[in-house]
Copies of this chain bind each other. A is one copy, B any other.
Amino acid sequence: MAPLDLTADVVSLTRALVDLPSESGQEGRIADAVEEALGALAHLTVDRVGNSVIARTDLGRPERVLLAGHLDTVPAAGNLPSRLAGGRVYGLGACDMKGGVAVGLRLAATLPETARDVTYVFYECEEVEGERNGLGRIAAARPGLLEEAGLAVLMEPSDAGVEAGCQGILTADIVIEGARAHTARAWQGVNAAHRAGRVLQRLDAHVPERVVVDGLEYREGLGAVAVRAGVAGNVVPDECVVTVNCRFAPSRSAAEAEAYVRGLFPEYEVRVTEVVAGALPHLDRVGGLVAALGAEPRPKLGWTDVARFAALGVPALNYGPGDPSLAHTAGEYVPVGHLGRCEAGLRAWLR
């Protein structure tokens, strides 16, 4: 394998990263390449936790900032190798988020002198269950390493604009009970699926709130993502489970979100299977960066790892190349213009 050339332009570097497959759990090769390339730079101290690589400047600046991007991708979908066409880099992970990683690597390699000390984090397993997430592993293995930064930039695709904070996620099963019976004598039972009609209609009629935080409007959401009922073709089902996914504004805590959803379905068993708070935009603390980037901040509706930084007490925002709605699609791409804009914006701020 050819080593990564961090002096190459950001487009070439993006393509080289795309062509280094790194589905979640299989980031060994790309982490090796990143570690080797960064390890060759005298101005950086490089550390590794699992298949995550951390590189730090140590210039004695009073302030430290952190740039982070994940190395892993979802599974391939016939979208390898990379190709450049019409001003876009196509290929697995081009958008989510090897374009952002390329920007981060370019900055790490070409900015020996910065106004603030910088910690660069390139991590594993963002696309899978949270326990495997590289940031979590780093936080556990190197206490204080992430927290020493006063500000974090997560280079997830955000259309090369600033997406501030992020909403929380709650997933719950609403369990509707009934009583089995043979369908030839259905009146002897209670049809749980029929009873679920009320739950689904309540969800249909529900008007999610719009919550303004720091002047940004977070549009909440609550809806069914799955419905399951069925015992056999001739049996009245005695259980119907409606799985709901709730997106809640960062001003609500996980406990508040849970109480909110339970309050909407007081007469049913509600089993919360996942709840993670979002991240406040903290425009007061990230304002300098936002101004330097010259971007009008927008609210981030999807959950991202900025919430992990928020939980560590590090205000963070999303800023990276690529359209987030293309993430995980077979046709994902990153515009060359985004790559240049993000690299230039962060370079100006860091220098």
A contacts, CB < 8 Å to B: 167, 171, 182-187, 191, 193-204, 208, 219, 221, 223-237, 240, 242-243, 245, 247, 301-303, 325
Given contacts A227-B228, A235-B225, A236-B225, contact A242 B193 (CB under 8 A): yes
Given contacts A197-B198, A245-B233, contact A223 B184 (CB under 8 A): no
Judging by beta carbons under 8 Å apart, are B225 and A243 in contact?
Answer: no
Judging by beta carbons under 8 Å apart, are A234 and B245 in contact?
Answer: yes
A234–B303 CA distance with the chains assembled, in angstroms? 11
Q: State the oligomeric state as a number of copies.
A: 2
Shortest CB distance A173–B (Å): 11
Judging by beta carbons under 8 Å apart, are B200 and A196 in contact?
Answer: yes
Q: Determine the chain B residues whose CB is within 8 A of the CB of A237 once the complex forms.
A: 224-227
Shortest CB distance A63–B (Å): 32
Given contacts A184-B167, A302-B182, contact A223 B197 (CB under 8 A): no
Closest 4 CB pairs of A and B: A197-B200, A226-B230, A194-B204, A197-B201
Judging by beta carbons under 8 Å apart, are A243 and B230 in contact?
Answer: yes
Shortest CB distance A240–B (Å): 6
Judging by beta carbons under 8 Å apart, are A196 and B227 in contact?
Answer: yes
Judging by beta carbons under 8 Å apart, are B223 and A186 in contact?
Answer: yes
Closest Cβ neighbor of A204 among chain B residues: B194
Shortest CB distance A212–B (Å): 17
A224–B187 CA distance with the chains assembled, in angstroms? 13
Shortest CB distance A195–B (Å): 7
Given contacts A182-B302, A226-B230, contact A197 B194 (CB under 8 A): no
A301–B185 CA distance with the chains assembled, in angstroms? 7
Judging by beta carbons under 8 Å apart, are B194 and A301 in contact?
Answer: no
